[in-house]
């Protein structure tokens, strides 16, 4: 009788286990002068994506304005030095995107032509185009993040299409979005239906029906399943605050995230990782260090 190799039962067992998927950590940077530089942020080797926030004013005839809190003053061209940090991050393999919108600002798109004009501005001033007044200097960002939380719900899909059209062979314009967890998102639902977004970091906080509540992970996981089975996106990240003070509600203790939530959501083929708000609070809580081995 032929002997059965001892490793075969182990192989059979492994074949029955549904594989989980390793992910990255995306972090929002730019809203505190006390959070460290962009270069220092990427030198930690903890983050796969850094989202510079925010271009808070644009569209409908507004003069575009960026706010990087205490980091620099764009009005005096003081933010061009950020190019050094962008290049340093990219050299480490970190994707760097500019977030447009935010919870405080003045922005909207009046028409599909206005969307094209905003796309042209973003391309020429932050991406691969040229402009004499690039706010962050001559470094070329990897893409644009849509954090649309106020104003009009119209023409964000047009903006996504216009930006993606600037992609070139070997250089795709990456698009990401940060919708609220109630599905579909009021502002970005139509844009996400285009299927053009590489990353979607859903904000599972400040929304009680679809976030973690003490002792209850079911609402969050149910919402996660709906998002990952309903949208056509490259990957989906679970978006979280890194400290109780970083958001109004929805904070998840690291031990709960790593033991009760990540093992479940990582089964999804669309799992991309964890998005954290924000670098300033992460410095103080150390949240990313607690979870990175499990992401």
The torsion region of residue 222 among left (phi > 0), alpha (psi -120 to 50) and beta comes to alpha
The torsion region of residue 166 among left (phi > 0), alpha (psi -120 to 50) and beta comes to alpha
What CA–CA distance (Å, rounded) separates 124 from 115?
14
Q: Cis check for the bond before 28: say yes or no (omega within 30 of 0).
A: no
Q: Cis check for the bond before 255: say yes or no (omega within 30 of 0).
A: no
- Count of Cβ atoms closer than 10 Å to residue 78 Cβ: 13
Which among 35, 40, 65, 149 is annotated as catalytic? 149
Question: Which H helix or E strand runs over 177?
Answer: strand 174-177
HSE-up (13 A, CA, CB side) for residue 83:
15
Residue 65 is among the residues annotated as catalytic for this protein: no
How far out from the chain centre does Cα 40 lie? Answer: 19
CB 148 within 8 A of CB 101: yes
> Looking at the annotation, which residues are catalytic?
149
């Amino acid at each position: 009788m032929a002997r059965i190799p001892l490793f075969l039962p182990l192989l059979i067992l492994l074949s029955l286990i549904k594989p989980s998927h390793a992910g990255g950590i995306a972090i929002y940077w730019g809203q505190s002068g006390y959070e460290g530089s962009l270069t220092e942020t990427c030198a930690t080797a903890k983050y796969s994506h850094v989202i510079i926030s925010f271009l808070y004013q644009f569209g409908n005839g507004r003069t575009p304005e960026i706010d990087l809190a205490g980091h620099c003053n764009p009005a005096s061209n003081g933010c061009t030095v950020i190019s050094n940090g962008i290049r340093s991050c990219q050299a480490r393999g970190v994707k760097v995107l500019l977030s447009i919108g935010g919870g405080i600002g003045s922005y909207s798109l009046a028409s599909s032509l206005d969307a094209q004009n905003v796309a042209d501005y973003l391309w020429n001033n932050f991406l691969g185009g040229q402009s004499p007044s690039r706010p962050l200097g001559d470094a070329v960002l990897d893409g644009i993040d849509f954090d649309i939380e106020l104003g009009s719900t119209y023409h964000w899909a047009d903006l996504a299409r216009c930006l993606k059209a600037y992609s070139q062979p070997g250089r795709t314009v990456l698009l990401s979005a940060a919708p609220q967890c109630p599905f579909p998102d009021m502002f970005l639902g139509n844009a996400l239906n285009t299927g053009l977004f590489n990353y979607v970091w859903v904000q599972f906080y400040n929304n009680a029906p679809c976030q973690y509540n003490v002792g209850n992970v079911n609402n969050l996981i149910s919402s996660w399943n709906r998002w990952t089975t309903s949208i056509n996106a490259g990957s989906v990240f679970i978006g979280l605050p890194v400290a109780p003070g970083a958001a109004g509600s929805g904070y998840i203790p690291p031990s709960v995230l790593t033991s009760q939530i990540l093992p479940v959501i990582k089964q999804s083929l669309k799992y991309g990782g964890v998005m954290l708000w924000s670098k300033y609070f992460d410095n103080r809580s150390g949240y990313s260090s607690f979870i990175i081995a499990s992401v």
